[in-house]
Structure 1
Amino acid sequence: MSAPRVLGLDLSITATGICLPDGTTRTIKTNPKDGDRRLQQIVSEVGIALDEHEFGDASDLVVMEEAPPGLKGPAIKAIHMVHGAVRLRLLDFDTPYAVINPTVLKTYATGSTSADKTAMAMAAYKRTGREFGDDNQCDAWWLRVAGLDWLGSPEFSLPVAQRDRLAKATWPVPKGNPS
């Protein structure tokens, strides 16, 4: 049986990181001058990423990072708009998704709740030799890795305490499971 197809999304109105099911990463950059049309661009490019990998059956999963705690003003409004637009796209096409709090993701990746972007990148490099174009791609990659791990197909081993943090995320109920 092949590994599940998991897509990682580090959502942002300015630079959304995507990690495709094959592990490649990219960043969707938007122009502030485009206003709310940036939402269309992000949703369209997420849809293309889903279509490229023929998502749709019960084994597929999209893993997104929750809005960071402490955001205020226009930043929090923008990230919630992006989340709403992308989640609607996923719901429209019956694509299961999980949402991980940034602190949970940091602890999963590094063992520390206060890990910064450099620590996240270093943890990826130490485990796999991977380097990324930006921190959005790195976070998206870790989100994909977490999804694979949760589904029982980890790409590499992590200490049990780090893996146990995944239980704190919001995971979808598998299709056909009424509970």
Structure 2
Amino acid sequence: MTRPAVLGLDLSLTSTGIAGAGWADRLVPPRGVDGLPRLRWIRDAVQDNVGDETALVVVEGLAYSRTTGKAAERAGLWHLVVERLDGVVPWAQVPPTARAKYATGKGNAAKDAVLAAVVRRFPDVEVTGNDQADALVLAAMGLDHLGHPPVVVPAAHRVSLGAVVWP
């Protein structure tokens, strides 16, 4: 049975993580592109990576508890991207705590703990930052949901799949 094409997206204003089975990358807006043009650039770059063969896009939900600033812009980005995906490709929303639990077994795991777990669990994928690690976890969750887990994940980690809003 052929593995479906699933994309994981860790949306960010500076470096959006994007990943699929066996790969991880980032989408970085050009310098000097700010505000709404930046959000549109990221939305369009995501859309450019969604092909006819894409079976599912898994997007990290908004982290309402974050205090890193630009909350309105981050929320605007999330909604622009999801609006573009909606009706074109099935998409799922993963709470940040579910992403962390799937990767590490702890919903409150720090970003670097997720990165370390991803590097251990996916040794054949070059992952150089938290954005790529998060996107790879999201893609893995989507593949697992569709019955094609790319790696073995402990049952206690897989419980987090139940917190996801699947299409």
User: Considering only CA atoms, is the larger Rg found in Structure 1 or Structure 2?
Assistant: 1
Q: Aligned pair 1:17/2:11, yes or no?
A: no
Per the TM alignment, residue 15 of structure 1 is displaced from its structure 2 partner at its CA by 1.5
Q: Which residue of 2 aligns with 1:38?
A: 38
Per mean C-alpha deviation after superposition, the further-off stretch among 138-147 and 109-118 is 109-118
Name which of 68, 76, 84 aligns with 2:71.
76
Q: Distance in 1 between matches of 2:67 and 2:111?
A: 20
Name which of 49, 53, 60 aligns with 1:55.
53
Per the TM alignment, residue 47 of structure 1 is displaced from its structure 2 partner at its CA by 1.2
Per the TM alignment, residue 131 of structure 1 is displaced from its structure 2 partner at its CA by 4.2
Q: Which residue of 2 aligns with 1:117?
A: 111
> Secondary structure, in 3 states, of the residue corresponding to 2:93?
strand
Q: Which residue of 2 aligns with 1:100?
A: 94
Instruction: Give the aligned CA root-mean-square deviation in angstroms.
Output: 1.8
- 8 A Cα contact 2:104 2:113, kept in partner: yes
Kindly provide the amino acid, as one letter, of the partner of residue 23 in structure 2. Answer: T
Which 5+ residue runs of structure 2 have no aligned equivalent? none
Q: How many residues end up aligned between the 2 structures?
A: 165
Per the TM alignment, residue 23 of structure 1 is displaced from its structure 2 partner at its CA by 2.9
> Secondary structure, in 3 states, of the residue corresponding to 1:27?
strand
- 1:126-145, aligned counterparts within 5 Å? 126-129=120-123, 130-145=125-140
Per the TM alignment, residue 128 of structure 1 is displaced from its structure 2 partner at its CA by 2.4
- 8 A Cα contact 1:8 1:63, kept in partner: yes
Q: Deviations over 1:73-119 (max 9, x none)?
A: 95221111111111111125x21100001111101110012211221
> Secondary structure, in 3 states, of the residue corresponding to 1:25?
strand
- 8 A Cα contact 1:90 1:96, kept in partner: yes
Which 5+ residue runs of structure 1 have no aligned equivalent? 173-179
Q: Which residue of 2 aligns with 1:151?
A: 146
User: TM-score by structure 1 length?
Assistant: 0.84
Q: Which residue of 1 aligns with 2:82?
A: 87
> Secondary structure, in 3 states, of the residue corresponding to 2:9?
strand
User: TM-score by structure 2 length?
Assistant: 0.90
Change in Cα spacing, 1:78 to 1:158, as seen in structure 2 (3 Å) is same
Q: Which residue of 1 aligns with 2:165?
A: 170
